[in-house]
Amino acid sequence: MATLRVDVQTVGIERLANVLAAAGPKAPVAIRRALAHTGDKARTQVKRALVAQTGLKAKVIAKAIKVTRPNRDALRYVIRSRGGDISLKFFSPRETRKGVSHKSRHAPSPLAGSFTKGGRFPRRIAAKGLNGHVYRRTGKGRGPLALQDSGVIIPAEMVEGASRAAFFSTVERELPARLAHELYRILG
């Protein structure tokens, strides 16, 4: 399981030390609100970066990412994801005579000898047992079949590259200003 996390120590907020001291017991409320607001913005940027980085649809990425928001016990915002290699089914597979072409950047396209349908060309039909997945024969006969994966692992993609950069740049840019806003709002 991979996580991206922001808490109070992550971003330098030394310049707000006097304002935090003036807020007294209400300071954790302001910190919690600022972390939640900035974390939601960072989550949006991570999702957008992952869509571009992986080639998956936004709906699939949204389903794969889980969030833990700040609460009274923990002043941190955590974005996490878990799972393994994503099936080619989620990369808009399209069957051609040469094999299945898809939108994954990690597997060759078209994938020679692979299929998603049954029957003879050109009148192939969607086979109920295949459920839209991409398969390839591993033996000389009709079976056995091997499910083809894309090579994309969302947790690994989330903590490297553009998605990691989007997370930390959003937090560094937005959190100090949002924390100041919430503190001044509490102090009046």
Assess contact for 79 and 70: CB atoms under 8 A: no
Whether 145 has a pLDDT exceeding 90, the answer reads no
Whether 110 has a pLDDT exceeding 70, the answer reads yes
Q: Distance between CA 142 and CA 165 in Å, rounded?
A: 47
- Kindly report the length of the chain: 188
Q: Distance between CA 28 and CA 26 in Å, rounded?
A: 6
H or E segment and range at residue 85 = strand 85-87
Whether 136 has a pLDDT exceeding 70, the answer reads yes
The residue ranking higher by pLDDT, 11 or 185, is 185
Q: Distance between CA 59 and CA 164 in Å, rounded?
A: 20
pLDDT band at 131 (very low <50, low <70, confident <90, very high): confident
Instruction: Quick: pLDDT tens for 38-62.
Output: 999 999 999 999 999 988 899 999 9
136-169 burial string, b = 16+ CB within 10 Å, else e?
eeeeeeeeebeebbbebbbbebbeeeebbebbee
- Quote the pLDDT of residue 19: 66
For residue 20, give both structure tokens: 């935090």
Helix axes 27-54, 162-187, angle to 10 degrees: 160
Instruction: Quick: pLDDT tens for 171-188.
Output: 889 988 898 888 888 887
Assess contact for 155 and 145: CB atoms under 8 A: no
Q: Distance between CA 66 and CA 36 in Å, rounded?
A: 14
Assess contact for 78 and 4: CB atoms under 8 A: yes
